[in-house]
A and B are shown apart, each in its own frame.
Chain A
Amino acid sequence: MEKIKSLADLRKKREELQKNPNLMEKSNNPDQYVQIKVGMATSGIASGAKQVMDYLMEELDKRGVDAVVTQTGDMGYCYAEPTIEVKRPGEDPIVFGFVNVKRADEIIEKYIKNGELVEGIIPVNYESIDE
């Protein structure tokens, strides 16, 4: 792997990656992909996040939906684990809580495919430092 030897290198790397960190290898037009993050910290995994993540990857592939599923840390909503964040192309991301395999299926069919919201949405209730 190439070494980062200066602040300029690092900034260049950041610009490259910001275009789309997890999709770079996968596609030429990442804007068309649905991005899904699964909360895979200890609390998430203990509540079944791993099964949900496997299910999402397998089913999205089977149902021909262009999507990238990645893991992430604790979103903070331990009461509603497993939690996933879904970002449809060009839209704001939405977090869903209490996602088991059955709910994951509903999210794929209704929200991911048709943009129809389903129960279990967790509203954003904090300020991030990027804004």
Chain B
Amino acid sequence: MHLLVCGGTGCRASESEAVQLNLERELKEHGLENEVKVVTTGCFGFCEKGPIVKVHPDNTFYAQVKPADAKEIVEEHVLKGRKAERLLYFDPTRKEHISDNKHIGFYRKQIRIALRNCGFIDPENINEYLARDGYQALGKVLTDLSPSETIDIIKKSGLRGRGGGGFPTGLKWEITSKSMADQKYVVCNADEGDPGAFMDRSILEGDPHAVLEAMAICGYAIGGTKGLIYIRAEYPLAIKRLKIAIEQARNYGLLGENLFDSGFDFDIELRYGAGAFVCGEETALIHSMEGSRGEPTFKPPFPSVEGYLGKPTNVNNVETFANIPPIINKGAEWFASIGTERAKGTKVFALAGKINNVGLIEVPMGTTLREVIFEIGGGIKDGKKFKAVQTGGPSGGCLTEKHLDTPIEYDTLIAAGSMMGSGGMIVMDEDDCMVSVAKFYLDFTVEESCGKCSPCRIGNKRLYEMLETITKGEGTLETLHKLKLLGNVIKDTSLCGLGQSSPNPVLSTMDNFWDEYMAHVEDKKCPAGVCKSLLRYVVIPENCVGCTACARNCPVNCITGERKQVHYIDQSACVKCGTCLEKCKFNAIEII
């Protein structure tokens, strides 16, 4: 028998280490230390009810265990073999104690639909995919359903595009199916470019067949026989696994001619992106595939009507496709039962930044930011204070403390001043300067702007320069005013989604962190201590003992002072490297 004690940050903060010590002591007192081991585990994702103690192998799940409860667990559960009722998790809806963690309704905040096979199967072995219902959905569609029945299922499921736009997938399929042409194309958009987003890569690397199967289903539904995956060349492993998967599917006759003896042909090829962010925009993506420059063009005509080589083309994102086979297998009603009124199913997020459990998660739509960041994500690193979360990549915005209880869905995030985007979530703490964050995203957009329209090409460059003036302490109220004005002009007049959304990081941080912008221009200070030009390292005379450590280590020799005398930093020569702060053992250097 083992006692598993949660060692996640949340549980540690509520004394899980003391719980563990007490359990070990109790076991020793009863001479059981060799039979029963106490082991620390990673986060259970249930920090709100921590500390958690789980008994293995009988799966008993104790919540909110205090150090004093260790005796009861050992004497009741370990010695007498009966569950310590009082300490079991109490389910407020069912009004009873629940012992088995599989039955704690909301304990498992994640449901893995798009990630169902990721981390379970060998992505380079089609047999493992087949063993987990692989290609059953394609078989079912080709054998039992008409194209319009297939589209109906997708429409009823309520699935919306997971690339960020949130356009209803079934409707897109229907429009493409109604466009008449001698050839139609199914395109998978795997040009994942948002900083911090890696869910599409993980799906392609972990479950490539799911995307291939879904593309074939889409082809059947819209009446197209050719699939193209537009994938970034920066994803070599995903490309390798896709190639293997396509080959294996062809060998089984699951791609190619006359699939399932239905007369339907479908095959898939890869097209490599050249690392341009704007190529994630569907019209730019199509131009890039045609061999032209990856520049967006005005819509309409939509790709569903006139796309690749002028033919109707259905473009969906990787994660959208990954949801298709389970919807066909388990039904539209099942899928529509997950999520909220206006957004069905789940969304995969890539958690990054100052959060403990960096990684991939998949939660039902409508889960709050608080649940994602503080429970599944395990909270902020090093016990720091949460400041903001950036969603939607360079097109999104920063959400703050007051938005934490916002349910995550397409419309609510837009209402809060950000957007869903492809699912990157970068968490920031008190040490992050919001002006610098906005500058980081603008730098990215300036680099990635294709240059076709002037608001985006020139406007973003000017925005970036203004932000730079502010971080250097040369900004004025006038700069802030111009920043806002120009940001809105770029939004209103740019040609494509990239330009229309590129000022969002600036505008949303200005809305939510006006004080911080003001501090930069009025007081010439960076409250988070990030903008170097605005920092001053000074000696605190009361704490300085004159050990000379700072002066000896200063790379520009700008610190003077005799041994055992208070030292002095020459601000005009200081390069603000922070070495003195690091080397001082007496907390005698501060940043003001």
Q: Do A and B come from one complex?
A: yes
A interface residues, Cβ below 8 angstroms from B: 1-7, 10-11, 13-14, 17-18, 21-22, 37, 39, 41-43, 45, 70-80, 83, 85, 91-92, 97, 116-123, 125-131
Chain A residues whose CB sits within 8 angstroms of the CB of B358 once the complex forms? 78-79
B206→A77 contact, CB < 8 A? no
A41→B252 contact, CB < 8 A? no
Chain A residues whose CB sits within 8 angstroms of the CB of B134 once the complex forms? 14
A15 to B91, CA, bound (A): 38
B118→A73 contact, CB < 8 A? yes
> Which residue on chain A has the smallest CB distance to residue B350?
A78
A14 to B117, CA, bound (A): 15
A129 to B330, CA, bound (A): 9
B interface residues, Cβ below 8 angstroms from A: 2, 4, 6, 37, 39-46, 54, 56-57, 102, 108-113, 115-125, 127-128, 130-136, 139-140, 143-144, 198, 201-203, 205-207, 235, 237, 251-254, 260-261, 326, 330, 356-362, 376
A10→B253 contact, CB < 8 A? no
B111→A126 contact, CB < 8 A? yes
B42→A121 contact, CB < 8 A? yes
B57→A92 contact, CB < 8 A? yes
B117→A117 contact, CB < 8 A? no
Chain A residues whose CB sits within 8 angstroms of the CB of B57 once the complex forms? 91-92
Chain A residues whose CB sits within 8 angstroms of the CB of B127 once the complex forms? 17, 21-22
A119→B119 contact, CB < 8 A? no
Known: A74-B360, A126-B112. A119 touches B260 (CB 8 A): no
> Which residue on chain B has the smallest CB distance to residue A83?
B119
B135→A10 contact, CB < 8 A? yes
> Which residue on chain B has the smallest CB distance to residue A92?
B57
Q: How far, in Å, is B20 (CB) from chain A's closest CB? A: 11
Known: A3-B252, A4-B254, A42-B237. A74 touches B46 (CB 8 A): no
> Which residue on chain A has the smallest CB distance to residue B348?
A76
Q: How far, in Å, is B478 (CB) from chain A's closest CB? A: 44
A123→B43 contact, CB < 8 A? yes
Supply 4 further A-B pairs (C-beta < 8 A) apart from A4-B253, A128-B116. Answer: A41-B206, A73-B202, A123-B41, A127-B111
A123→B143 contact, CB < 8 A? no
B260→A5 contact, CB < 8 A? yes
Chain A residues whose CB sits within 8 angstroms of the CB of B37 once the complex forms? 116-117
B202→A121 contact, CB < 8 A? no
Chain A residues whose CB sits within 8 angstroms of the CB of B117 once the complex forms? 73
A72→B362 contact, CB < 8 A? no
A78 to B133, CA, bound (A): 27
A2 to B205, CA, bound (A): 26
Chain B residues whose CB sits within 8 angstroms of the CB of A127 once the complex forms? 108, 110-112
A120 to B111, CA, bound (A): 23
Kindly identify which residue among B4, B54, B118, B330 contacts A75, using a CB–CB cutoff of 8 Å: B118
Kindly identify which residue among A4, A18, A76, A116 contacts B131, using a CB–CB cutoff of 8 Å: A18
Known: A5-B260, A72-B121, A92-B57. A14 touches B130 (CB 8 A): yes
Chain A residues whose CB sits within 8 angstroms of the CB of B130 once the complex forms? 10, 13-14, 17, 21
A125→B46 contact, CB < 8 A? yes
Indicate the member of B41, B42, B198, B207 with the most A CB atoms within 10 Å: B42
> Which residue on chain A has the smallest CB distance to residue B46?
A125
Q: How far, in Å, is B194 (CB) from chain A's closest CB? A: 16
B261→A77 contact, CB < 8 A? no
Q: How far, in Å, is B227 (CB) from chain A's closest CB? A: 19
Chain A residues whose CB sits within 8 angstroms of the CB of B123 once the complex forms? 71-73
Kindly identify which residue among B41, B45, B111, B260 contacts A129, using a CB–CB cutoff of 8 Å: B111
Q: How far, in Å, is B36 (CB) from chain A's closest CB? A: 11
A78 to B234, CA, bound (A): 19
Kindly identify which residue among A18, A76, A116 contacts B360, using a CB–CB cutoff of 8 Å: A76
Chain B residues whose CB sits within 8 angstroms of the CB of A121 once the complex forms? 4, 39, 41-42
6 A-B pairs with CB atoms under 8 Å apart are A7-B136, A79-B358, A126-B108, A126-B112, A127-B108, A127-B110
Kindly identify which residue among B40, B111, B118, B133 contacts A76, using a CB–CB cutoff of 8 Å: B118
Chain A residues whose CB sits within 8 angstroms of the CB of B326 once the complex forms? 129
Chain B residues whose CB sits within 8 angstroms of the CB of A4 once the complex forms? 135, 252-254, 260
A61 to B233, CA, bound (A): 37
A74→B108 contact, CB < 8 A? no
Indicate the member of A79, A118, A128 with the most B CB atoms within 10 Å: A79
Kindly identify which residue among A11, A22, A128, A129 contacts B125, using a CB–CB cutoff of 8 Å: A22
Chain B residues whose CB sits within 8 angstroms of the CB of A129 once the complex forms? 111-113, 116, 326, 330
A10 to B259, CA, bound (A): 12
Chain B residues whose CB sits within 8 angstroms of the CB of A37 once the complex forms? 119-120, 122
B56→A117 contact, CB < 8 A? yes
Q: How far, in Å, is B465 (CB) from chain A's closest CB? A: 35
> Which residue on chain A has the smallest CB distance to residue B205?
A41
Q: How far, in Å, is A12 (CB) from chain B's closest CB? A: 11
A123 to B43, CA, bound (A): 7
> Which residue on chain B has the smallest CB distance to residue A120?
B42
> Which residue on chain B has the smallest CB distance to residue A125?
B45
Kindly identify which residue among B136, B144, B359 contacts A10, using a CB–CB cutoff of 8 Å: B136
> Which residue on chain B has the smallest CB distance to residue A118?
B39
A76→B119 contact, CB < 8 A? yes
Q: Which 7 A-B pairs have the closest CB atoms?
A: A73-B206, A75-B119, A126-B110, A3-B253, A125-B45, A17-B131, A76-B360
Chain B residues whose CB sits within 8 angstroms of the CB of A91 once the complex forms? 57
A123→B39 contact, CB < 8 A? no
Q: How far, in Å, is A96 (CB) from chain B's closest CB? A: 9
Q: How far, in Å, is B425 (CB) from chain A's closest CB? A: 13
Kindly identify which residue among B122, B251, B356 contacts A72, using a CB–CB cutoff of 8 Å: B122
A53 to B120, CA, bound (A): 16
Chain B residues whose CB sits within 8 angstroms of the CB of A13 once the complex forms? 130
A41 to B46, CA, bound (A): 26
Chain A residues whose CB sits within 8 angstroms of the CB of B253 once the complex forms? 3-5
A21 to B121, CA, bound (A): 10
Chain A residues whose CB sits within 8 angstroms of the CB of B131 once the complex forms? 14, 17-18, 21
Chain B residues whose CB sits within 8 angstroms of the CB of A22 once the complex forms? 122, 125, 127-128
Chain B residues whose CB sits within 8 angstroms of the CB of A43 once the complex forms? 198
A128 to B5, CA, bound (A): 24
Kindly identify which residue among B45, B122, B198 contacts A70, using a CB–CB cutoff of 8 Å: B122
Known: A1-B251, A123-B44. A117 touches B111 (CB 8 A): no
> Which residue on chain A has the smallest CB distance to residue B42?
A122
Chain B residues whose CB sits within 8 angstroms of the CB of A39 once the complex forms? 119
